[in-house]
A and B are shown apart, each in its own frame.
Chain A
Amino acid sequence: MLFNDYPFLLVFLPAAILLYRLVDPYPQLRIVTLVLLSFAFYAYDNRPFILLLVLSILINWLAALAFARTRRKAIVTAAIVADLAVLGVFKYTNFIAYNLGLVLDRPIPHFDLALPLGISFFTFHHIMYLVDLRRGKAPFYPLPRYALYIAFFPQAIAGPLARWSEVMEQFGRKVYSPGWQREFCVGITFIFIGLFEKIFLGDRIAGIIDPVYARAAAGPVTNGDAWLALGFSIQILYDFAGYSDIAIGLGLLFGVKLPFNFNAPFRSTSIQDFWQRWHITLMTFLRDYVFFPLVNARILPRRFLPLQSNAAMVLTMALCGLWHGASWTFILWGTLHGCALVACALWRRYGWKLPSLLGWVLTVMFVLVTGVIFRAATLDAALNIFQGLAVPANLERGRHLLPLVIIPLMAFLLPASQDIVALLTRRPRPWLSALVGFGLLAILVELGERNVSGFAYFKF
């Protein structure tokens, strides 16, 4: 079910709010109700994979239970390995088979495997909890609460990747307690801003640049349109930040404050700054569960620790790329960002201080250019775009290209959406709320054309 479609906005969400309102006075029903709603949400257009989600929850919870009783770390390790194996099978089998075929110089058949929606995200949620359980940082939770942590519908498909410690205790909270009206106003404003970002900003750019990438996949782009392709990073910002904001807003309607995922990343003055503002919850996960273990592992002698740390950075980002998709374009994108982070760290240590404006220009250019590699279907397609940049930009379409000017300017100049929401909801102003209601009405009318497009991160 898509957050930006009528079935969700007009049927599921109102029904879910009403149902939760009815069970709110009964603490023992709250979590179970949300679990069932989340399963219904997931099963709506992923019926075959609901079983996978349920099994995944059951098996991981049983592993946690067995660990809680026996304290045998091997159980948790086995569960994590199994989680990664399942993710690997669904996501990387064909990629590995294809490349193995190239190495062995013989064709290996393509497997007809569909990627279960949200598998990357619920696998990471399992890992975050199980690793902390093994480290003795996380307590053991009953099945319904654990199931909700994995399947909570606002975040199950594409995050934010909430730590167990951030949300577990919020589940089952009484929502309709004093002050709930403000929480609802904040939540609705988040949903409005998220839908606006997705529909009026992200999708607008997608409409302009998608044909360019389609052309690049088929051959060179020689008509000056290649420049438009640089807009992809802005598109995915508003696509994913929009999704995250809707998720945060929905969480608030059910008494859960989800972590923020973006913090005006295009205002960053360095690539390090950028990665602290972009997909924050994934970067926190990678930092804590991949980068730190790699740095702390005794792989190289102590005097080579900086080298190990830099290598860990590049490897972490390459894995970040691979997590986004089974393609060399993603690995190259991640590796380039890893190298940029290392270069940025070395520059900070040995170079002179760059003026902020120059740092911002370099950061934005790097993100826009590497975004082409991320979006292009193949390395050849990316190369076709880059070669196309040798031709001056084609501006014949005039005002139709205006979104590619206005929307990036918004990304460069506006504060993070959470800051905008905070500003809008600092104090109760009914006229402003009415305006938000009017904005939501305009969005519903816009969605009436049925040009609903999925969120980019659903395929990761």
Chain B
Amino acid sequence: MDLPISNSDSSLEWSRCLAACVGTLGIGALLLFIFLIAVDPYDGGKFGLLGIDGVDDRNSFTAVASRARDTNFDSAIIGNSTAMLLDPVGLSQATGLRFVQLSVVGGTPAEELAVLDFFLRNHQRVGALVVVADPFWCVHAETEPPRPFPYWLYGKSSLAYAAHLFSWPALEHAFQRLSIGLGWRKRNNPTGVFKIEDMWPAGFREINRPLVPPPAATIAGRDIFPDVSLLDDVIRKLPANIAVVLAVPPTFYTTIPQPGSGAALEKQACNAALNRIVAGRPHSNFINYRLDNAMTRDRANFADFIHYRPDLATRMSEGIAASIELGNAARIDF
């Protein structure tokens, strides 16, 4: 490209162009950043100067942060979509605690642990924790995460959080939050309650078979469940007055391992590991709802192989509430 030789006048004009370009970029970036910091697009609590409450976000990966730090609640339901139908309002009424639903759709144990850690860091007083442990908790070796999860939103570092604010999704969330602040939009339900019709249509679809964790490489390795151990580490550090209920969610009966099979032994070992976490802990219990019975044989109780419908959720909630009151002496009617 032929570039004309510049004289001093044109140098001055080109200096203005350069200043306009770099200035727009620099000042624009700065203003944008100030806006994002002021609004705190995900309501993660690390920033936010405008006092806007809640988010309007359908993505549970990011929406959970706002609820998890809400001090109007003292108890939490942790899990993935297999925990979503547990009604926090019903549990609150049954226990006298204040439950918030923190399920992450498609969440892995590592992601659920990040949410749990975030909830605990944001609450000085905790009443109870309900962790719904699906078969993903029962893998012996750590697996590759299926897709990126915003750990930066749930981590301790404000810097890492700030570094992820400069994006289109963050901007979109910021404008949504601004709209909430201005009263133009409604925030998500603060309890995080889900309606089944929002998630699954009527009828049973033969999809979402539960994970069958690969068997341990050695006999000794059969009792090693890295994610269960991490959960154990967290629970062990909690004061004894915090009730902890670990629940294995029901699945349609055809997917339950046959007694005596290798998969059944694996499941048994995992259940035992989960049980050990709460053994001897007051107001705490391990409940295995993955049973072959009339309820799990009824297709009407399931949307697919792993997602149960409200009737089962209500039964589960009853067991959970009873456990919070009576610990492992609770009668589980399932």
Q: Which residues of A contact B (CB under 8 A)?
A: 178-179, 181-186, 188, 257, 418, 421-422, 428-438, 440-441, 444-446, 448-450
Q: Is the CB of B24 within 8 A of A449?
A: no
Interface residues of B in 2-44 (CB under 8 A from A): 3, 5-6, 8, 10-11, 13-25, 28-29, 32
Q: In whole angstroms, how far apart are the Cα atoms of A421 and B11 in the complex? A: 18
Q: Is the CB of B10 within 8 A of A182?
A: yes
Given contacts A445-B32, A448-B166, A449-B168, contact A181 B17 (CB under 8 A): yes
Residue contacts A-B, CB under 8 angstroms, 11 given: A178-B8, A182-B14, A185-B14, A421-B1, A422-B1, A428-B10, A428-B17, A437-B23, A437-B24, A445-B32, A445-B168
Q: Is the CB of A438 within 8 A of B28?
A: yes
Q: Is B214 an interface residue (CB 8 A)?
A: no
Q: Which residue of B lies closest to A184 (CB)?
A: B18
Contacts of B16 in A (CB 8 A): 428, 430
Q: In whole angstroms, how far apart are the Cα atoms of A249 and B5 in the complex? A: 19
Q: Which of B10, B20, B32, B168 contacts A434 (CB 8 A)?
A: B20
Q: Is the CB of B170 within 8 A of A448?
A: yes
Tell which of A188, A435, A445, A450 has the most Cβ of chain B within 10 Å: A445
Q: Which of B13, B166, B169 contacts A444 (CB 8 A)?
A: B166
Q: Is the CB of B168 within 8 A of A446?
A: yes
Q: Which residue of B lies closest to A429 (CB)?
A: B17
Q: Which of B1, B18, B25, B32 contacts A181 (CB 8 A)?
A: B18
Contacts of A440 in B (CB 8 A): 21, 25
Q: Taking the nearest CB of chain B, how far is it from the CB of A1, in angstroms? A: 17
Contacts of A182 in B (CB 8 A): 3, 6, 10-11, 14
Q: In whole angstroms, how far apart are the Cα atoms of A438 and B26 in the complex? A: 9
Contacts of A433 in B (CB 8 A): 17-18, 20-21, 24
| Total number of residue pairs linking A and B with CB closer than 8 Å | 98
Q: Which residue of A lies closest to B170 (CB)?
A: A448
Given contacts A182-B3, A183-B3, A433-B18, contact A449 B167 (CB under 8 A): yes
Contacts of B164 in A (CB 8 A): 448, 450
Q: Taking the nearest CB of chain B, how far is it from the CB of A315, in angstroms? A: 34
Contacts of A428 in B (CB 8 A): 10, 13-14, 16-17
Contacts of A446 in B (CB 8 A): 167-168
Given contacts A448-B166, A448-B167, A448-B168, contact A436 B21 (CB under 8 A): yes
Q: Which of A183, A257, A418, A437 contacts B25 (CB 8 A)?
A: A437
Q: In whole angstroms, how far apart are the Cα atoms of A184 and B20 in the complex? A: 12
Q: Is B171 an interface residue (CB 8 A)?
A: yes
Q: In whole angstroms, how far apart are the Cα atoms of A422 and B20 in the complex? A: 18
Q: Taking the nearest CB of chain A, how far is it from the CB of B3, in angstroms? A: 7
Q: In whole angstroms, how far apart are the Cα atoms of A437 and B29 in the complex? A: 10
Contacts of A421 in B (CB 8 A): 1
Q: Taking the nearest CB of chain A, how far is it from the CB of B131, in angstroms? A: 30
Interface of chain B, main secondary structure: helix
Q: In whole angstroms, how far apart are the Cα atoms of A430 and B24 in the complex? A: 11
Q: Is the CB of A441 within 8 A of B32?
A: yes
Q: Which residue of B lies closest to A181 (CB)?
A: B14
Q: Taking the nearest CB of chain A, how far is it from the CB of B278, in angstroms? A: 38
Q: Taking the nearest CB of chain B, how far is it from the CB of A246, in angstroms? A: 16
Q: Is the CB of A449 within 8 A of B169?
A: yes
Q: In whole angstroms, how far apart are the Cα atoms of A435 and B17 in the complex? A: 10
Q: Which residue of A lies closest to B166 (CB)?
A: A448
Q: Is the CB of A438 within 8 A of B24?
A: yes
Contacts of A436 in B (CB 8 A): 21
Q: In whole angstroms, how far apart are the Cα atoms of A271 and B25 in the complex? A: 41
Q: Is the CB of A179 within 8 A of B20?
A: no
A-B residue pairs, 7 tightest by C-beta: A437-B24, A448-B167, A179-B6, A428-B13, A181-B14, A433-B17, A448-B166
Q: In whole angstroms, how far apart are the Cα atoms of A234 and B169 in the complex? A: 28
Contacts of B166 in A (CB 8 A): 444-445, 448
Q: Taking the nearest CB of chain B, how far is it from the CB of A449, in angstroms? A: 5
Q: Taking the nearest CB of chain B, how far is it from the CB of A119, in angstroms? A: 29
Q: Which of B10, B22, B171 contacts A437 (CB 8 A)?
A: B22
Given contacts A186-B1, A449-B167, contact A181 B20 (CB under 8 A): no
Contacts of B165 in A (CB 8 A): 448
Contacts of B23 in A (CB 8 A): 434, 437
Contacts of B10 in A (CB 8 A): 179, 182, 428
Q: In whole angstroms, how far apart are the Cα atoms of A434 and B25 in the complex? A: 8
Q: Which of A418, A432, A444 contacts B29 (CB 8 A)?
A: A444
Contacts of B29 in A (CB 8 A): 441, 444
Q: Assuming A181-B11, A433-B21, what are 17 further A-B pairs, CB within 8 angstroms?
A: A182-B10, A182-B14, A421-B1, A430-B16, A431-B20, A433-B20, A433-B24, A436-B21, A437-B20, A437-B22, A438-B28, A441-B24, A441-B29, A441-B32, A446-B167, A448-B164, A448-B165
Q: Mark B151-168, 1 if CB is under 8 A from A, else 0.
A: 000000000000011111
Contacts of B17 in A (CB 8 A): 181, 185, 428-430, 432-433
Contacts of A422 in B (CB 8 A): 1
